[in-house]
Amino acid sequence: HGSNIEAANYRGQTPLHVAAASTQGVDCLESLLRAGARINVQSQDGRTPLHMTAIHGRFTRSKSLLDAGASPDTRDKNGNTALHIAAWFGHECLTTTLLECGASPAARNAEQRTPLHLSCLAGHIEVCRKLLQ
């Protein structure tokens, strides 16, 4: 009589998406992973829980997802990977972790932009430097 861990909201987000984004979601995310939540599940806009950590800058949760086998190069509906999003928002630690876990810095989104394009566009010099290393 447990809850459905894959139940999606009106945006197609599962509880794992929500826990990945939430300021209070660390323990919930770990519990959902232990319960077998699908790690690379995509919402209606194509975002995975890893994309949600990149949007909201949740470094520890991104590491947990990657350690549990999250794909670093899954693309959303706009062709963005989690690295594109982390670069756009200037999340340095997340950018480093994604690169260390095999995210492709050469990936191009639907507008043919790489994460480096987005970090330059947004003026995030430290992220630019990390992507150039």
Per-residue pLDDT tens digits for 74-92: 999 999 999 999 999 999 9
Locate 33 and state its tokens: 């992973």
Q: What is the pLDDT of residue 96?
A: 96
Q: Is residue 76 part of a domain?
A: yes
Q: Is residue 116 part of a domain?
A: yes
Domain limits for position 64: 15-132
Summary mean pLDDT of the chain: 96
CATH number of the domain residue 128 falls in:
1.25.40.20
Q: What is the pLDDT of residue 97?
A: 96
11 contacts 51 by C-beta, under 8 angstroms:
no
Residue 66 has pLDDT above 60, yes or no: yes
Burial of 36 from C-beta contacts in 10 A (0-12 / 13-18 / 19+): exposed
Q: What is the pTM of this model?
A: 0.95
Q: What is the pLDDT of residue 1?
A: 57
Percentage above 70 pLDDT, the chain? 99
Q: Is residue 47 part of a domain?
A: yes
Q: Report which of 76, 122, 83 is spatially closest to residue 106, judged by C-alpha positions.
A: 83
